[in-house]
Structure 1
């Protein structure tokens, strides 16, 4: 066998292994389901208290500001994905507000949205 044949065979083996590993389930595919498997978050019991303490406060997400009023439940539900993205990326609450969500609060928001942002 020539070097060219060995290289061709090695490339074929490498491509076969890579394509097999890419087509099978990996940890990243399972992470969101596993992440929230034991975390049942509810709107009324978990999310609204977080929003009321950190977002729906004077000068922020309440009536009379140019921002979405999060004292209205429907606004929280309709903007659930945005709330999730902003809190996961530490955009909200803004640092200037002096408020900061705990890892547990961020996880509750993440899981509530991941589980369908239900009105529960």
Structure 2
């Protein structure tokens, strides 16, 4: 039993350390010079990487990200930021570039406006 407790403690420490490291990637991000408009930046990124593959199009059971209304659901429940910015397991084909992730982060930090 003691070994199991130590193992769980160790796994938790590693998990917390690795999760914290991922957040540091955006720690010093300055959004003042980054275009983070939904219409000109975010929607084209989502269309090119998430909806064109059929994963999150209007017919998808994985969630429709073709509209602002569909995307804001993922913003509000935290899955967009978690999956795209931190675990980076979305989009499935390949992770977005740091520059694209920074644009998304700045848009999210601005309150995910419909601009």
TM-score by length of 1: 0.63
Q: How does 1:89-104 map to 2 (within 5 A)?
A: 89=86, 90-94=88-92, 97=93, 99-104=94-99
Count of aligned pairs between the two proteins: 87
> Unaligned stretches of 5+ in structure 2?
1-23
Partners in 1 of 2:82 and 2:33 — Cα distance? 21
User: Following superposition, which runs of at least 4 residues in structure 1 exceed 6 angstroms of deviation?
Assistant: none
Partners in 2 of 1:93 and 1:58 — Cα distance? 10
TM-score by length of 2: 0.66
Partners in 2 of 1:77 and 1:65 — Cα distance? 16
Q: Secondary structure at the match of 1:37?
A: helix
Q: Indicate whether 1:59 and 2:54 are aligned.
A: yes
Shift of 1:100: 3.0
Q: Indicate whether 1:117 and 2:106 are aligned.
A: no
Q: How does 1:1-120 map to 2 (within 5 A)?
A: 31=27, 35-80=30-75, 81-89=78-86, 90-94=88-92, 97=93, 99-120=94-115
CA contact (8 A) 1:43 1:119 kept: yes
1:82-116 superposed Cα distances (whole Å, 9 cap, x missing partner): 2122111212012xx2x331111000001100110
CA contact (8 A) 1:77 1:118 kept: no
> Unaligned stretches of 5+ in structure 1?
1-27
Larger Rg over CA atoms? 1
CA RMSD of aligned residues (A): 2.0
Partners in 2 of 1:86 and 1:35 — Cα distance? 22
